[in-house]
Amino acid sequence: MDKLLIRGGRSLQGQVRISGAKNAALPELCAALLTAEPVTLTNVPRLQDVATMLTLIRNMGVTAERSEDGTVSINAGALSSPEAPYELVKTMRASVLALGPLLARFGEATVSLPGGCAIGSRPVDQHIKGLQAMGAEIVVEHGYMIAKLPKGWTRLKGCHITTDMVTVTGTENFLMAAALAEGETILENAAQEPEISDLAEMLIKMGAKIEGHGTHRIRIQGVDKLHGCCHQVVADRIETGTFLCAVAATGGDVLLQHGRADHLDAVIDKLRTAGVTVTPEADGIRVQSAGPAHTHLKAQSFRTTEYPGFPTDMQAQFMVLNCVAQGPSKVTETIFENRFMHVNELVRLGAHIQIDGKVAVTEGVAKLSGATVMATDLRASASLVIAGLVAEGETVVDRIYHLDRGYDQMEAKLRGIGADIERVKA
Ligand SMILES: CC(=O)N[C@H]1[C@@H](OP(=O)(O)OP(=O)(O)OC[C@H]2O[C@@H](n3ccc(=O)[nH]c3=O)[C@H](O)[C@@H]2O)O[C@H](CO)[C@@H](O)[C@@H]1O
Ligand SMILES: C=C(OP(=O)(O)O)C(=O)O
């Protein structure tokens, strides 16, 4: 297993190019299953989840080629099997996104229930309930969701879907299924994340009729057929936010090229209140922090909620900043029931954090000291990297396969702006 070796204490200076969003690229690769015509995605990030998704769709008989510049060309003209086997989906929950498109275009799908996830139980009951409301017959057997259209049906039927809670991939599955369904679908309580809007924009280029994306109520008028398109994956707001927190914590002056400030209002607002200078520029965001966080930044309390609230995927990274800023803060995690696994590792580096249920209370310290720590999930890994950049001495972050799942060459990007960080190959 690869590790990261970080020697902390350097400020960060220069420019970083923000990659395409993992959470947009994954549903968009699945959206290519909705048409027999070629689809080209550009700005696709180079990360493990994308590689897994490419393997998954190739295994269905789809042609998918990726080039060095981040372009992926997909042709789902012929499909040998509408199946997502456990072996291929166990490391990536987003594989559930194959269910809606396969069912909508081929009338059947067999998709493994995603494997267990460290951050919470993450059931997929809402996905199943919504697709059943569109007429799909779905049974869960031997760890698989086996879905098909009722006898005599050629398409799903549009309907009104109100989910019990706001679900990002659930909304994406319904959007893709409804695009090819018969009649109108209305999604109430829809997720509003920028990745949903990006997927909707791609589907509209493919000929889908969608209104209201980016709001809680999305209206989709199903069409008979979708065609090919070329679509650029939106910038990754979580990668952007991770670099914002890294620069804020270490001190420095960095331009995050292609970063979208308009997708990060809640995080940027907290950073500014803490004392960080964040300036939207023509094609990116500039972040300036006058020195190590403890010298001038104030810790900030926040509560994770659905977009446009503070993203759960930024909770761990901002918590590190709180750990090394001045004063107390209270972080409340409302989306996932087990998303504080970075806390014990941060404590091993010298952070002062106490957990009480959904709340983590931190008291800023002047310094962290390097140690060997273990990554437990994707954003926990990112938080440990930021902590390592701040800590005195050497930090080794183990089990970084979690990080590789969702960050495009993180250590190379950090090295490019002055961090002392290297990958130690297993
Ligand atoms: C690939 C992708 O885009 N992943 C993101 C997506 O995950 P994902 O789409 O899996 O997360 P959801 O928005 O669905 O989950 C929100 C909450 O609803 C619950 N729930 C969800 C569906 C369901 O059928 N039943 C159910 O109970 C979940 O357990 C969780 O507590 O949104 C999360 C919340 O912003 C992010 O952290 C993930 O990075
Ligand atoms: C939880 C995340 O991703 P996933 O839904 O793919 O597990 C994440 O991106 O932080």
Q: Looking at the predicted structure, is the pLDDT value of residue 90 above 90?
A: no
| pTM higher than 0.90 | yes
Q: Which atom belonging to ligand 2 lies closest to the Cα atom of 22?
A: 9
User: Are 253 and 390 within one domain?
Assistant: yes
Angle between helices 125-133 and 168-179 (to 10 degrees): 20
Nearest Cα neighbor of 26 from 146, 240, 172, 208 is: 172
How far CA 157 is from CA of 105, 131, 223, in Å, comes to 13, 9, 11
Query: Is 241 close to ligand 2, i.e. is its CB under 6 Å away?
Result: no
Q: State the pLDDT at residue 116.
A: 63
Strand pairing category for 328-332 and 302-303: parallel
323 noted as active-site residue: no
9 and 152 co-located in one domain: no
Is the minimum distance from the CB of 240 to ligand 1 under 6 angstroms?
Answer: no
132 shares its domain with 94: yes
Same domain, 104 and 168: yes
User: Residue 200 is part of a domain; what is its CATH number?
Assistant: 3.65.10.10
167 lies in the same domain as 239: no
Based on the fold, state whether residues 243 and 158 are members of the same structural domain.
Answer: no
Domain boundary residue, one of 232, 258, 276: 232
* Shared domain check, 221 and 264: no
Q: Are 69 and 98 part of one and the same domain?
A: yes
Q: Is the CB of 126 under 6 A from ligand 1?
A: yes
Ligand 2 atom nearest the C-alpha of 378 is 10
Three-class SS state of 424: strand
- Report the chain's mean pLDDT, rounded to a whole number: 97
Q: Work out the pLDDT band at 89, boundaries 50, 70, 90.
A: confident
Q: What is the pLDDT of residue 414?
A: 98
Residue 426 has pLDDT above 90, yes or no: no
ipTM: 0.99
**Torsions phi, psi of 73, nearest 5?**
-110, 125
Q: What is the mean pLDDT of residues 33-39?
A: 98
* Catalytic residue of the set 117, 229, 230, 245: 117
Does residue 42 share a domain with residue 132?
Answer: yes
Q: How many Cα atoms sit within 13 Å of 42 on the Cβ side?
A: 5
In testing the pocket of ligand 1, which one of 132, 165, 174, 312 has its CB within 8 Å of the most ligand atoms? 165
- Contacts with 43 (C-beta within 8 Å, 6 or more apart), sequence order: 19, 20, 70, 232, 233, 235
pLDDT digit string, tens, across residues 377-391: 999 999 999 999 999
Report, as an integer, the average pLDDT of 161-172.
98
Host domain of residue 252: 3-18+235-424
124 and 57 in a common domain: yes
Q: Kindly state the percentage of the chain with pLDDT values over 90.
A: 96
Tokens of 117: 């996830």
Task: Say if residue 413's pLDDT is above 90.
Answer: yes
What is the pLDDT averaged over residues 97-126? 92
* Mean pLDDT value of segment 192-213: 98
Instruction: Compute the distance from residue 174 Cα to the ligand 1 centre, in Å.
Output: 14
The annotation status of 124 as a binding-site residue, yes or no, is yes
Tell me the CA–centroid distance for residue 329 and ligand 1, in Å.
26
133 and 46 inside one domain:
yes
- Which tokens is 28 given? 């968009």
- Shared-domain flag, residues 121 and 80: yes
Minimal-distance CA residue to ligand 1 atom 15: 167
pLDDT at 117 exceeding the cut of 90: no
* Residue where one domain finishes, among candidates 178, 198, 232: 232
User: Which tens digits make up the pLDDT trace of 259-270?
Assistant: 999 999 999 999
Question: How many structural domains does the chain have?
Answer: 2
Could you give the angle at the alpha carbon of 178 between the alpha carbons of 23 and 124, nearest 5°? 55
| Residue that terminates a domain, selected from 214, 232, 250 | 232
Centre of ligand 1 to C-alpha 122, Å, is 7
